[in-house]
Amino acid sequence: MAFPDLTSRLAVRFALITLGALLALLILVRFATITLGEEDPANGRGAMMSDSVPVIVTPVTMRTEEVRIEAVGTARAMKSVTLFPEVGGEVTAVNFNAGDRVEKGDILIELDARQERLDVEAARNQLANAQQILTRYDEAGEGAVSALVMDESRTAVQAARIAVNQAEERLYDQSVRAPFDGIIGLTEIDAGDRIGPDTEIASLDARETLLVDFPVPEAYLTRIDIGDPVEAATWTASTPEASGEIVYLDSRVDPVSRTVTVRAALENAEDRLRPGMSFRMTLDLQGREYPVVPEVSILWGGEGSYLWAIKDGGAQRVSATIVQRLEGRVLVDAALQEGDLVVEEGVQRMREGVQVDYERDPTASGPAEPVAAP
């Protein structure tokens, strides 16, 4: 029968397969032993396995959060009026040129006032006559003039005095005077023109100081105070042209734009700026102090952003919320202290508790200027 021969061949084949599997297993063990650096009895070397992962680290620095707000603002003069005459009449003199600096009380426009001067003179004569009559009654002695006549005389003096004041007011209104010190603007009025109370004469601006209103997002309202410094630049200038401070915060937040209007006062002693100009307003706000780390150190996981810090020679995962982005670095809200080491290169090989072999980044430097807030 052929059954014994078949059984022998199957046994030999099984033995060969088993031997091949054992040899493959020995090769894998040998390769793993060499790769991990365990003891090699063939060559007598006894290198111990090392779990250290090489990384480059950067020390944490601390910096105060700085938010730069940039907005568009329009300037107006500290004092600004458009001049109109009190009464109508013929212009007899224009006593200014556009751009002149005038002082409070200066006569800018004169109207024909001949009738008003006559009225003043007549009223003064009436007052002098009434006072003369009252003086005679007083000198006549007690009982010479009845009490009723004396009262009428005193009333006449008072009425004449009031008439003088009224006539002088009408004469005063025949001139247009500067209500405050400032720079007078252009005018279309010439001597000989007839004008009325609704005729615009010129604008007058006190522009040694300019007021600029600009919007600020409501999120920063609690960080703004009266007296905070601001800078202003025109759209053609690369550097600030004026500096000033906040003088007023609006009492309400715009419910549509979610902004609050801030008013700043800019010094304009050299008179280079004009009311009506638009400015790029810059306001730097200070927050609290945060750790600064390289931006490449931030990773993202299922629980949010985090980074790897070195604690006692091992890697430790630390949750980190980005507060502000700088140029290549970020301010983070994390449980870090100044001088702590964070992994900058090699973050992909990090695991919790893994031992690291680190060196400091020789190019590490301080953070750059803050990025402007939207």
Residue 35 has pLDDT above 60, yes or no: no
Confidence grade of residue 303 (pLDDT, cut at 50, 70, 90): confident
Mean pLDDT, residues 13-42 taken together: 60
Average pLDDT estimate for 25-40: 54
pLDDT attached to residue 8: 66
Q: Which of the pair, 79 or 349, is modelled with greater confidence?
A: 79
CATH superfamily of 69-77+205-287: Efflux pump adaptor protein, beta barrel domain (2.40.30.170)
Supply the mean pLDDT for the chain. Answer: 85
Q: Once rounded to an integer, what is the mean pLDDT over residues 301-314?
A: 89
pTM summary value: 0.63
Residue 85: CB atoms within 10 A of its CB come to: 22
Q: What's the pLDDT at 30? A: 62
The tens digit of pLDDT for each residue in 69-100 reads 999 999 999 999 999 999 999 999 999 999 99
The one-letter code for the residue type at 157 is: V
Pairwise pLDDT comparison (142 vs 216), residue with the higher score: 216
Stretch 226-230: mean pLDDT = 93
Q: Which fold has domain 55-63+288-373?
A: 2.40.420
Residues 262 and 226 sit within 8 Å (Cβ to Cβ): no
Q: Give the whole-angstrom CA distance, residue 26 versus residue 22.
A: 6
Name the one residue in this structure whose structure tokens are 């793993």. 32
Note the pLDDT of residue 5. Answer: 58
Q: What is the CATH T-level fold of the domain 113-173, as seen in this structure?
A: Helix Hairpins (1.10.287)
Q: Percent of the chain having pLDDT more than 90?
A: 58
Per-domain residue ranges of the chain: 1-48, 55-63+288-373, 69-77+205-287, 113-173
pLDDT at 15 over 50: yes
Pick from 325, 329, 323, 293: nearest CA to 308: 293
Residue 41 has pLDDT above 60, yes or no: no
Residues counted in the chain: 374
